[in-house]
Amino acid sequence: MNKFTLSLSVFIFFLSTVFISSCGSKSKNAEPRSSIQGSVLTVSGVVIKPQELDNIVRSSGTVLASESVDLVAEAAGRIERISFDEGARVKKNDLLLKINDDDLQAQLKKTQFQLQLASEQAKRQKQLFGTSGISKEQYDISINQVNTLKADRDNIVASIRKREIRAPFEGRIGLRYVSEGSYVSSTTRIASIQKISSLKVDFSIPEKYSNEVAVGDLIEFSSDETKLRFTGTLYAIEPKIDAATRTVQLRAMCENKNEKIFPGAYVQIELRLKKITDALMVPSQAIIPVLKGQTILVKRYGVVVSLPVQIGLRTPSFVQIVGGISAGDTVLTTGLMQARTGMPVNVVLK
């Protein structure tokens, strides 16, 4: 009986050992299979297709009056009359300020009397010369006297005009800094006049766009203060690149009939260049900055591939790729921290 019990115990132990060994071998064989399945990374991605892109360059700039002048006197003297109100609109050639010119008016009157007398004498001399009553030399002297007095008259008239300040163009007068009776010279600031029914906008763009921009391109700009948007047309391009900033200076013109914006305002500008019909755009989150530029991850032949790229324009959500990828590439947009070059990947397209 004891022998039978001992033999049965040995048999049961043998079966248990075989069973445990077989289970262990199955679990060992199962581990590599699950490991292989776990190494396939599932991420989101997009297939790159050519699309139309509005080529918009964004910059900041300053608004200028289309015409602006500081009013100063050409000749020194005492102000006799001020004919404008501060902040008023004026038309071209309106008299704004008059400086005392009594001495010049007296000289002008005297010269006019002398000219009248000399002209009558020249007429008589002409008649005498026609009948050989005087020599040609005497006649020439009388004519010369008339011409000299005319020149003196014109000189005095020019001096009188220098004592008048007239509006050089239609615009709006600013604050004045003198009063009637003040003595002014050529360095005295009297007031300023601005033409703001149309405005200039000065701004600059990076030099890489210098060959793409042209006179006639449209701009849109807005001011943080007014919250309004304005449109304008580019009309002048500085024919050089600023060596310090590597930018090109541009100037546009826009209408401001309602005077909603004033010179000196800081504005945000969008310059619209020619549309790009075959732009390759990727989501901005797909761009990976590296030491010497940017890279993106794509799926090729079932695995992850890292590609260096050159970027172009940016929109709020996308970035243009101008070199490094081709249409039809599948770009990874998630899992960028986990993905490694050569890793198998399963891309769920958006």
Q: What is the pLDDT of residues 122-165, one digit of tens each?
A: 888 888 878 877 788 888 888 999 999 999 999 999 999 999 99
Residue 12 has a pLDDT of 52
Give the CA distances from residue 233 to residues 216, 268, 286, in Å, rounded to whole numbers and listed in that order.
6, 15, 36
| DSSP code for 233 | E
Residue 292 has a pLDDT of 85
- Quickly name the fold that domain 58-65+195-274 has: Elongation Factor Tu (Ef-tu); domain 3 (2.40.30)
Which candidate, 245, 341, 336, places its Cα nearest to that of 302?
341
Burial 145-166 (b: 16+ CB within 10 A, else e): bbeebeebbeebeebbebbbbe
| CA 278 – CA 38 distance, rounded (Å) | 39
- Quickly name the fold that domain 70-184 has: OB fold (Dihydrolipoamide Acetyltransferase, E2P) (2.40.50)
Residue 40 has a pLDDT of 85
What 3-state DSSP class applies to 163?
A: coil
Write the DSSP string, 40-81: SEEEEEEE--EEEE--EEEEEEEEEEEEEEEE--SS-EEEEE
Which candidate, 38, 33, 48, places its Cα nearest to that of 299?
48
Residue 6 has a pLDDT of 44
Please give the helix or strand (H or E) that residue 26 lies within, else none. helix 2-38
Region 41-54+277-349: CATH code: 2.40.420.20
Per residue in 52-91, pLDDT (tens digit) is 888 888 899 999 999 999 999 999 999 999 999 999 999 9
Burial group, residue 241, by CB count within 10 angstroms (0-12, 13-18, 19+): middle
Burial group, residue 306, by CB count within 10 angstroms (0-12, 13-18, 19+): middle
Which candidate, 233, 273, 231, places its Cα nearest to that of 253?
233
Across-strand partners of 288?
Answer: 295
Which candidate, 223, 205, 199, 200, places its Cα nearest to that of 271?
205
| CA 94 – CA 167 distance, rounded (Å) | 5
User: What does R_g of the chain's alpha carbons equal in angstroms?
Assistant: 44
Residue 7 has a pLDDT of 52
What 3-state DSSP class applies to 140?
A: helix
**276 — phi, psi (to 5°)?**
-100, 120
Which candidate, 205, 206, 230, 204, places its Cα nearest to that of 218?
230
Residue 253 has a pLDDT of 95
Q: Which residues make Cβ contacts (< 8 Å) with residue 166, sequence separation at least 6?
A: 93, 94, 95, 96
Domain boundaries, the chain: 41-54+277-349, 58-65+195-274, 70-184
What are the mean pLDDT values of the chain's consecutive 10-residue runs (350 residues total)? 48 50 44 48 92 87 95 93 94 95 94 93 85 83 92 95 94 94 93 94 92 91 85 94 94 91 92 87 92 91 92 87 91 91 90
